[in-house]
Amino acid sequence: MFALNSIERHKYTLFFINKWKYNLYLHIIYTTMAYSFEKEKKKVGITSQDMFCFQFSKAEYISTELYKTHNSNKDDNIKSYVLRYIKNTLNVCESINCIYQNTNDFISASTLLRSVIDRIAILFHIYTNDDMETTLLKHYLYLLDGVLYQGRTRIDLDKIVNSTLDDKEFDEFKKNYEIENAILEVQRKNIFKKINQLNIIKAGNVNKDIINKGNWKFKNIKNCSSFSWGELYSELGIHETFSKTASFISGHVHGLSISNIDNIDFSKHFITLFAIASSVLTKLNEFITLFYNEDIQKNNIDFCNSDISKVYANLTSNEYIKKINNKYRRNKIIF
Each domain of the chain, given as residue ranges in start order, spans: 1-69+272-335, 104-264
User: Residue 166 to residues 55, 101, 156: CA-CA distances in angstroms?
Assistant: 47, 38, 18
The predicted model gives 199-223 an average pLDDT of 92
pLDDT at 5: 34
Range name among 14-23, 110-119, 212-221 with the lowest pLDDT average? 14-23
Output the average pLDDT for the chain.
Answer: 79
Higher pLDDT, 311 or 24: 311
pLDDT at 306: 79
Range name among 12-16, 243-247, 260-264 with the lowest pLDDT average? 12-16
Q: What would the pLDDT profile of 278-300 be if each residue is shown by its tens digit? A: 889 999 999 999 999 999 999 99
Beta-carbon contacts of residue 108 (< 8 Å; ≥ 6 apart): 99
Beta-carbon contacts of residue 30 (< 8 Å; ≥ 6 apart): 54, 304, 312
Diameter of the chain measured on Cα atoms: 80
Q: What would the pLDDT profile of 63-94 be if each residue is shown by its tens digit? A: 999 999 999 999 999 999 999 999 999 999 99
pLDDT at 1 over 50: no
Q: Cα–Cα distance between 88 and 94 in angstroms, integer?
A: 10
Q: What would the pLDDT profile of 20-68 be if each residue is shown by its tens digit? A: 344 444 444 444 444 444 555 555 566 778 778 888 989 999 999 999 9
Q: What would the pLDDT profile of 123-140 be if each residue is shown by its tens digit? A: 999 999 889 999 999 999
Beta-carbon contacts of residue 24 (< 8 Å; ≥ 6 apart): 333
The predicted model gives 14-20 an average pLDDT of 35
pLDDT at 15: 32
Are the C-beta atoms of residues 317 and 44 closer than 8 Å to each other?
A: yes
Range name among 4-13, 68-77, 301-310, 319-328 with the lowest pLDDT average? 4-13
